[in-house]
Amino acid sequence: MLTLYHWEPNANSGKPMLALMEKGVKFDSHYLDLLNFDQHSPDYLKINPNGTIPALVHDDLMLTESTAIMEYVDAAFPGPSLTPEDPVERWRMRWWMRFFDQYFAPSLSMIGWQVFVGPSVRDRDPELLKAAIERIPLKERRIAWSKAIYNTFSPEELAESRRRVAVGTLCLEEALSERPWIAGPTYSLGDINGFNLGYALPLAQPLLCNDEKTPHIMKWLRAIYARPAAKATWTMGRTQMAQRITFLES
């Protein structure tokens, strides 16, 4: 039995979704509506007590953390390898995954929570929102949700996130000007990781990422979305968020 608990094909949830599709691994899809706090429901907390998504259940094993899940999927199942054989390329793939996860993702996430997640739930009953926040198991997630809902990210936090997004975008453009994929000549987990974070950059940050300023990023994004696995993954989205990706067809 293989079941993936996920939200939209976006950021963390999209990473194992796309990895499974690239490997050609069949799995049961269990959609959790993050904006409805499904990930904090009693039923899901029995599966993942931390209340985070995605989570992958493989027989009696439950795995969390999206990048680690991708590496497990690549190692545990047959299909095309998503990890380069060359040691240098493998190091480069892991370097970029660490950069995406620890530097780029938190800043993109903060901006996304401030402009999308918070406004999407902010108008609901205040008492219900308060109760929903109190049910979140992890303190750091309670803080993040509280800041998003009540719009209390500080100007300094947002300014630093915007600075990091600008720096990260320039770093990515420079790397992709030297090689077709993150690690080198081989499409890898690093590309899956970066794509799920960056596919909407041209829409969210049009002054930073566009055909004139970052042509290599744009070429890379379009090349990934042209892959059948990416097309299949994004058909699993249920909200307008998933529809954003179609601009890469132009």
Closest to 196 (Cα-Cα) out of 88, 109, 92: 109
Residue 41 falls in which region: left (phi positive, over 0), alpha (psi -120 to 50) or beta: beta
DSSP reduced 3-state for 195: helix
Domains 2-76 and 87-249 alike in fold: no
Q: What is the pTM of this model?
A: 0.94
Residue 65 falls in which region: left (phi positive, over 0), alpha (psi -120 to 50) or beta: left
Q: What is the CATH number of domain 2-76?
A: 3.40.30.10
Instruction: Return per-residue pLDDT of the chain as tens, 250 residues.
Output: 999 999 999 889 999 999 999 999 999 999 999 989 999 999 999 999 999 999 999 999 999 999 999 999 999 999 999 999 999 999 999 999 999 999 999 999 888 878 777 788 888 888 988 888 899 999 998 998 888 888 888 999 999 999 999 999 999 999 999 999 999 999 999 999 999 999 999 998 999 999 999 999 999 999 999 999 999 999 999 988 888 899 998 6
Report how far residue 7's alpha carbon sits from residue 134's, in angstroms, rounded to the nearest whole number: 21
- Residues 6+ positions from 99 with CB-CB distance below 8 Å: 168, 171
Architecture of domain 87-249: Up-down Bundle (1.20)
Sheet with 55-58, edge to edge strand ranges: 28-31, 2-6, 55-58, 61-64
Closest to 190 (Cα-Cα) out of 54, 89, 87, 105: 89
Domain coordinates in residue numbering, the chain: 2-76, 87-249
